[in-house]
A and B are shown apart, each in its own frame.
Chain A
Amino acid sequence: MVDAGTILAQLADPYLLLVIVASAAYGLAIGSIPGLTALMATALLVPFIIFMAPLPAIASIITASAMAIFAGDIPGALLRMPGTPASAAYTDDAFKLTRQGKSATALGAGLFASAFGGVASATILTLCAPWLARIALSFSSVEYFWLGVLGLSCATFVAGPSLLKGLASLLFGLFLATMGLDPISGMPRFTFGSTNLVGGLGLIPVLIGLFAVSELLRNSYGQDRQMSEKAKPASIVKTVVKLMWPHKIGLLRGSLLGTVVGSLPGAGSDIAAWISYALAKKSSKRGNSDTEEGAVERIMSASAANNASLGGAYIPATVFGIPGDAITAIVISVMFIKGVNPGPTLFLNQPQVIYAIFAIFFLANLLMLPLGIACIRGFGLILRLPTSIISPVILLFCILGAFSVENTLFAVGLVALFGLLGYVMEENEVPLAPAILGLILGPLLEQTFMTTMLKSQGDLLTFFNRPIGGTIGAVTILVWALIIGLKLFASRDAKNDSSLADTAS
């Protein structure tokens, strides 16, 4: 470890602090606007910081991405329009609380859990980054494949009342992921001669269409429906501080899980949030209940995981230069460009830089509390404007958000198409979240399965040959068997009151 005084001296630079605060405000603003995502916030920052001095540049991107990932919860909770794929897991829970007039609880839980997860992962990062990175590097395509299959099981937890419809949605998402070039042979699939389709369907335009635009469509004919319950900002701190202790297990589990999943290259904050959500729901009685307490437990676990994974992602990133997801990939590139070449030697040769980066991550997560509350308060104020004026502006941001991530007008068309599709799906009780999960996991699953098959020349037994991979594989199969078994039993019981559709877990 390096002398703490040196690091603090580095951080005391007023210019650096100014950059951090400005980036935090920017990240919160972009992340909280429905339609604008954390990925967009990070990508748009690149041209600004690419020519800055190294430390402020890295501080800026770390701060902005952490803030934007939290801020994605705000439109999710208040408008049912998740700002990041990661918040899609618990959007329904949070929105339900908002409908009951408890937006302060929903958002406060998300905010405090995010900050907690971030700080927890920063602590883990500081203490044992190089050691954890070694473990992460022992994962090959076999382990990733099983992780993906395990991730798929999360779909059953967000499937809503009908398991079959949830599966249909999941499979549909997986299908959408296959559009474009096949990852192995490069053969165009389902492209019908269109260059735009060769590029595949971007996750962000589909997310914006399915969630945000479909919600706008649903609101369009409900005359008397308010956009949302106003957040009661004054009570956030009081409400949530009381909630932290009872949910300590969920918070710790989420933070730990988030750090671990985040530290696996190739599995980012979205996968971490989903798995943590599923675990909260399955592994504790409290997390499985339909009450307010249950929702808070799930939101806290998943929110903590989602920000913790950001910290976790810096483990392989700083030690080996290998990114966890699209956002960290940008962060790492910026480090490279600024001459902070990630690698184990960074810890030996420039420990003051690497620990300053960790310290910034710490600082950013603490800063999240006051700024986050201010942001929630501001957002609540904006929502007091009449719906007839707000909703077109949200639509414009949806268009802008899709365009600026993909830089094609095709993405704008996708937003309209998936908006209508999302609306029809919801009307027919087909849940949307599993489709997003399928779209996130599809490429990972296919790539790792095919790679493994190429390596073993078609021998399926390889999936059980490696010690870690085989173990995860066995656990995954067990989890799936349990899920299907439980659902079958539940449906047999439910048959008596002739509502097979109602197989809620």
Chain B
Amino acid sequence: MKAHDSIVGLVVAILGGAIALYSQSLVPPRHLNYGPGFFPLLIGIGLVLVGGGLIVQGYVTGRDKPLFYRPRWLENRQLVFRFWIIPIAILFYWLAVTPLGFLATATILLAMIQIANGVRWKLAFAVALITALVVNILFASILHVPLSWGVLTPISGLFIW
């Protein structure tokens, strides 16, 4: 995951270039001297300069360093899984919460990560369900956060206090 400073600089500079280029498509409407593209242009130029600085700095100070450094944990598949389960869980929540409802989605999400972390699955599900239930009651029923009720929607009126 760790890259050479020059690579970091290159990424920063490319981002800056893209921003600066995009800013040119933003034309000032009416009689404005400085339009919507002005700040993005400055930021883009700034990023290009900083990125260029990083490339040079990386070249000067780290010629002998590898371009990419692969940390040890990446070789352990279980650890890699534990890492990726987190963004996957958020993605799962994003997609599932509307149809399934918060209670079910949160239970699955919590159990899924706990099991990935090596918790026994019975315990994981019990903890997950209780936590999801408590959170659902506190935030949806009492604090009225508009969490999705999914399949429970038709009767959810009874659970909003």
Contacts and interface: CB of A to CB of B under 8 A. Distances in A.
Interface of A: 44, 47, 162, 164-165, 167-168, 171-172, 174-175, 178, 182, 184-185, 187, 189-190, 213, 216-217, 220-221, 223, 386-389, 391-393, 395-397, 399-400, 403-404, 407, 409, 412-413, 415-416, 419-420, 423-424, 427-428, 430, 442, 445-446, 449-450, 453-454, 457-458, 498-501
27 contacts: A165-B8, A167-B46, A168-B8, A168-B47, A171-B46, A175-B47, A184-B36, A185-B29, A185-B35, A187-B29, A187-B36, A189-B40, A220-B79, A386-B119, A388-B118, A389-B119, A391-B113, A395-B89, A404-B145, A409-B97, A412-B90, A446-B39, A450-B32, A457-B33, A499-B61, A501-B57, A501-B61
B157 interface: no
A392 B110 contact: yes
Interface in B18-77: 19, 22, 26, 28-30, 32-36, 38-40, 43-44, 46-47, 50-51, 53-54, 57, 60-62, 73, 76
B32 A388 contact: no
Contacts of B22: 190
B151 interface: no
Contacts of B154: none
Q: 4 tightest A-B contacts by CB?
A: A388-B117, A182-B36, A458-B33, A392-B113
Contact of A221 (B60, B73, B119, B135): B73
Contacts of B87: 217, 416, 419-420
- Bin the interface of chain B by size: 35 or more
Contact of A392 (B2, B39, B109): B109
Given A221-B83, A397-B135, A412-B94, 6 more contacts: A44-B144, A175-B43, A185-B28, A392-B110, A403-B147, A407-B146
A190 to B, nearest CB: 7
Contacts of B135: 396-397, 400
B145 A393 contact: no
B24 to A, nearest CB: 12
Interface in B102-160: 106, 109-110, 112-114, 117-119, 127-128, 131-132, 135, 139, 143-147
A453 B143 CA distance: 44
A396 B86 contact: no
B39 A178 contact: yes
Contacts of A399: 90, 93
A388 B119 contact: yes
A189 B117 contact: no
